Structure 1
Amino acid sequence: MSGFRGSTAVVGVGSTGYYKRGTSPLTSPQLVLQAILRACEDAGADPRTVDGFVSYGGDSSEGMAIGAALGVHEVRWSTEVWGGGGGGIAAAINCAAAAVHSGQAECVAVYRGLSETTDGRRAFAKGHLGSLYAAHGVLAPAQVCALRTQRLLEVDGVPRSALEAVSLAGYHHARNNPEAVGYGNTVDHERYDNSRWISEPLHLFDCSRENDGAAAVLVVSAERAADYLGVPAYILSGVQGAAAGWTESVENEKNYTTAGFHPALVQRLWSGAGIGPKEVDVAQVYENFTGPAVAAIIDHGLSPAGPAAGDFLTLENLTVGTGGLPINTAGGNIAEGFVHGIGLVVEAVRQIRGGSPNPVDGAEVSLLIGGPMAPLVSSTLFGSPATV
């Protein structure tokens, strides 16, 4: 879309925090409303002026109902990204930006909420595992990602240390985040390595959490960004989709060990922003499990592939203050909390707007990578005012 780069911005973020799964006293819509109201407060926006709603991954809180509960003046845009589970996380931001850029809406709330009281157990995974999986004893997302991760290790030669580095980086950053479910939960090499298997080669600390909660961000035009409080996080570029031979092909993908970010899609991300992977200052990488996150980092050209990935993907290099590519700086899905990855959006934006528990000094470009190894994948690049 012509002129898309920097034409929209995120001007507010809000979240409810994380509850242990099944313990939220609020329903999913109540959590979503709370998150949107807090995003409006952060932006200094009247909630009634929100005129668009976008979510993903089977969110049960329909935009029309949320708009009615907020008492908005008019709902001009309401949609949900299909498929891919957490792969739709960045796609939802891109969809909101497209709506604003094209004039279909002026202020779009992007949100995701989960409450097992409302949605039931593992609502985010319903419908993803068909009969062919079940017939062969594959009943959980961990098993699917374990198969792909094992191939990544055995055939591509990526060392297991790369997976460990992703996990430990999340727990390291969670130490400075009192809102993180993993706050105060120290995970070192010995504890990581001795933790129980979930689905080999994935240990306990290779796996994301599962929580109740909600978060939301507000997307507006760049021209209106100055009408809101705080520093805007400009949307520089966004991509989503899947190449032929990927999508819902049930383990027959040609590029089986990738995260699904095919070269043409990744190139569109960089060319749309007019930058390259070396210019990324900080990244929030969706880690349903560490293996897919490692594959996604490689797919984006942020790390070399194969054995050389072990030299780049180290705890030191992935942490704030010491690393060239700090990731999951609030703890990520693994250590901060998991509401289908929406917390990664909040943290990607806060690295530009301020408010991160582990801010990257002078961060200008913040990358968000949506759910890897999902049928649909997506990414978004955010930039500071200096980048536009």
Structure 2
Amino acid sequence: MTFRGATAVAGVSELHYPRGGAPAGERALVLEAILAACRDAGISPRDVDGFASYAGGDNSGPVLAADLGIRELRWSSMVWGGGGGGVAAAIGAAAAAVVSGQAECVVAFRGMAQRDTGRLGYAKYYFDNNYLPHGVATPAHVCALRTQRMLEHDGVPRSAMRNLVLAAYRHAQQNPDAAGYGKPLDEAKYDASPLIVEPFHLFDCSRENDGAVALVITAAERAAELAQPPAYLLAAAQGAPGGYSALTENDRHYTSAGFAAGDSGAGVASRLFDRAGVKPGEVDVVQVYENFSGPAVASLIDHGLCPQGPAAGEFMTVENLTAPGGALPVNTSGGNIADSFVNGMGLAVEAVRQVRGTSRNQAGAADTSLFIGGPMAPLVSSVLFGSDRTL
């Protein structure tokens, strides 16, 4: 079986609303997003025969299949572990189902309506007796511990985090759909914002939204005949280094976002690039999951896109991170921080837009578009999209 270029994203959609402000519950939002993604692809929703998601939820494949009236359900999967770390893995699972002949048209999706499910800020599914007795009760606490170690031990300057945030807000000013649209951010306002948990200021933290996102994945040949330019999947990878686990806080690779090589010499990032036949320096644009800015910087370092230590500050400038002229445009819709947060899946839609050439902050002719899933989780994942020129 050949994975590289065998499948493509043919349709996308995203819906997002302020937290608690969705006009319907999570199931209705997911169905609306799937219907919109099918319209974008130019297919009937009855043509869908598989579903893939992550991070839990009650909207399983059989439930959605019945609601949509599909002809036959052939694939239904959920990525275990990691919360948003599994977002790119869900897209990879959908592609694997198509490549292996298990299904022909799979939707990768995520929906959130926090009046139904409660807030993600307190992740009770994630924290156990290693955490709670010590006052560690939120993702912000865990990621702050690891980020502070990255700053103090590895020497990554705080400016790298700040500039990632400022670039996201700069992109949001060109995106009328973004929550940060019309709310520009500068260094003074960022620095004056309150600390949430050191070293994270208010603006280092992702938003919380209601909404739903869906991507239609099908065979490359079929996608090429549909309504939109295909975004081909060049590679996908998931996992974590041996000895790495946010559930113990004793792992050796403590400042990694989870994508770096472990003792085996392999890792999620290196496997991704090896499978794609692409080097980190050949990536045109990146959408990196920033639950908080520090883990996003660690993700870029893990993928070889940003140098380690003090040199990270020299690379992570607002100019380098901003489209269209930056050396590596990052989070061109505004990202989880300045656009919206539907457990990170909206970043995948923006990655596809870059390949299509339809982003509001287009990074030139983006032939390679990387989507990095949620960092510093027990399981992480990435997927690399490409245009037809990469095949």
TM-score range, shorter chain: over 0.9
Counterpart Cα distance in 2 of 1:96 and 1:247: 26
| Map of 2:388 onto structure 1 | 385
Paired residue type of 2:133: A
Instruction: Name the SS of the counterpart of 1:227 in structure 2.
Output: coil
Q: Point out where structure 1 has 5 or more consecutive residues left out of the alignment.
A: none
1:33–1:66 Cα contact (<8 Å) kept: yes
Q: How does 1:208-247 map to 2 (within 5 A)?
A: 208-247=206-245
- State yes or no: 1:330 paired with 2:330: no
Counterpart Cα distance in 2 of 1:124 and 1:342: 20
- State yes or no: 1:359 paired with 2:362: yes
Post-superposition offset of 1:126: 3.4
| Map of 1:95 onto structure 2 | 93
Post-superposition offset of 1:250: 1.9
Post-superposition offset of 1:121: 2.3
> Structure 1 233/124 Cα, relative in aligned 2: closer, same or farther at 3 Å?
farther
Q: How does 1:1-388 map to 2 (within 5 A)?
A: 2-16=1-15, 18-122=16-120, 125-263=123-261, 264-265=266-267, 266-388=269-391
Post-superposition offset of 1:248: 4.8
1:28–1:60 Cα contact (<8 Å) kept: no
Paired residue type of 1:300: H
| Greater alpha carbon shift after TM alignment, 262-271 vs 29-38 | 262-271
Counterpart Cα distance in 2 of 1:220 and 1:206: 36
Counterpart Cα distance in 2 of 1:250 and 1:296: 20
**TM-score of the two chains, using structure 2 as the length reference:** 0.97
Counterpart Cα distance in 1 of 2:292 and 2:97: 32
Q: Residue deviations 1:245-271, cap 9 Å, x none? A: 113542111010110112212221111
Counterpart Cα distance in 1 of 2:370 and 2:304: 12
Post-superposition offset of 1:124: 8.5
Post-superposition offset of 1:109: 0.4
1:51–1:73 Cα contact (<8 Å) kept: yes
2:13–2:37 Cα contact (<8 Å) kept: yes
Paired residue type of 2:8: A
1:15–1:34 Cα contact (<8 Å) kept: no
Post-superposition offset of 1:244: 1.6
Post-superposition offset of 1:355: 2.7
Q: Residue deviations 1:350-374, cap 9 Å, x none? A: 1112331211111100000000101
Q: Residue deviations 1:334-358, cap 9 Å, x none? A: 0001110010010011111233121
2:123–2:137 Cα contact (<8 Å) kept: no
Post-superposition offset of 1:165: 0.9
Q: Residue deviations 1:103-144, cap 9 Å, x none? A: 000000000000012212228833111122110011111111
Instruction: Name the SS of the counterpart of 1:131 in structure 2.
Output: coil
Instruction: Name the SS of the counterpart of 2:378 in structure 1.
Output: coil
Paired residue type of 2:71: H
Counterpart Cα distance in 1 of 2:359 and 2:55: 25
| Number of corresponding residues | 386
Counterpart Cα distance in 2 of 1:311 and 1:286: 21
Query: For the aligned residues, what is the CA RMSD?
Result: 1.1
Q: Residue deviations 1:311-345, cap 9 Å, x none? A: 00111100002311001000000000111001001
Report % sequence identity.
59
